[in-house]
Amino acid sequence: MTVDFENESSKDLGIGLYETAQRVIACALDYMDCPYEAQVSLLVTDNDEIHKMNLEHRQIDRPTDVLSFPMVNYEMPGDFSILEEDGTDCFEPDTGELMLGDIVISADKVLEQAEEYGHSVEREYAFLITHSMLHLMGYDHMTEDEAREMERLQEEILTKLNILR
């Protein structure tokens, strides 16, 4: 597993950002039975930069907590079998790793939401990575059923990591 990590935020979240990201990403891949070694890019930024990205990519004119940019289009969420047939362009030629996609997280939002929800910064950061990893594996929350499924999986992964509220 490769995590391409970049922290361009000036905020100190008081946790090992890279180490926590590695743990969460590895757990999410394992929990979702990803049969491949995978590659994920993670950028930690600030509200100003994520605001620009949110406007450019989603036409939403405000900062958000996390953005996900999946590299794979799944027929069914978490169904990696499609990659064996027509997903060869989703694999990094040099390493053979599945390129899942990119995650962008606002450090400002991590701090704000940890305080708002009354849990640790680690919990909020891990939650946002888990949420985004599910998006990178084809899950979404456009309907109530989809949202419930994502919430269930998020809680199960975070519980497995013992990163609780």
Residue 164 structure tokens: 């609780």
Mean pLDDT of 77-83: 89
Mean residue pLDDT of the chain comes to 95
Non-local CB neighbours of 103 within 8 Å, separated by 6+ positions: 40, 41, 42, 43, 66, 67, 68, 69, 129, 132, 133, 136
- Per-residue DSSP letter, 76: S
Q: What is the pLDDT of residues 81-133, one digit of tens each?
A: 888 776 568 899 999 999 999 999 999 999 999 999 999 999 999 999 999 99
CA 132 to each of CA 10, 75, 126, 136: distance values in angstroms, whole numbers, following the listed order: 22, 18, 10, 6
CA 144 to each of CA 71, 77, 134: distance values in angstroms, whole numbers, following the listed order: 25, 15, 16
Q: Which one has a higher pLDDT value, 153 or 165?
A: 153
* pTM of structure: 0.96
User: Which residue type does 90 have?
Assistant: C
